[in-house]
Amino acid sequence: MSTIPPVGAAPGSVPNHLAWSIIATVLATCLCCPLGLVGIVAIVFSSKVNSLLAQGDVAGAQRASNTAKTWCWVATALAIIGLLINVIYLTTVGAAGYMEMLQQYQ
């Protein structure tokens, strides 16, 4: 079985990972730091997939999909790291210290 859809494939036959890239970018940015904005790269490549399919460039759409997936994993990893850092900080300094830190950021 071939994993590459036929020429002139319909949008959706190659996953664009757009929802994952948006969610991962938002979570990574909120939980980790501005470094989470690397997820924007995933959003850009995700948005290219359907337009490349519409042009008949299935191989290009597959490459864009794979690149988007890679950057989605990077943003997801940053979100997980940020979540762990927040949980560890909350457990070590307590709720009062955590709220104080959040107020300092504002």
**How many folded domains does the chain comprise?**
1
Q: Is the pTM of this model over 0.75?
A: yes
Residue 25 lies in a domain: yes
Residue 4 lies in a domain: no
Residue 23 lies in a domain: yes
Average pLDDT over the chain, rounded to whole? 86
Give residues with Cβ within 8 angstroms of 82, minimum separation 6.
27, 28, 30, 31, 32, 33, 36
pLDDT score, position 10? 59
Domain extent, residue 67, equals 18-105
Residue 12 lies in a domain: no
The pLDDT confidence band at residue 1, using thresholds 50, 70 and 90, is very low
Residue 7 lies in a domain: no
17-50, pLDDT tens digit by residue?
A: 999 999 999 999 988 778 888 899 999 999 999 9
pLDDT score, position 84? 93
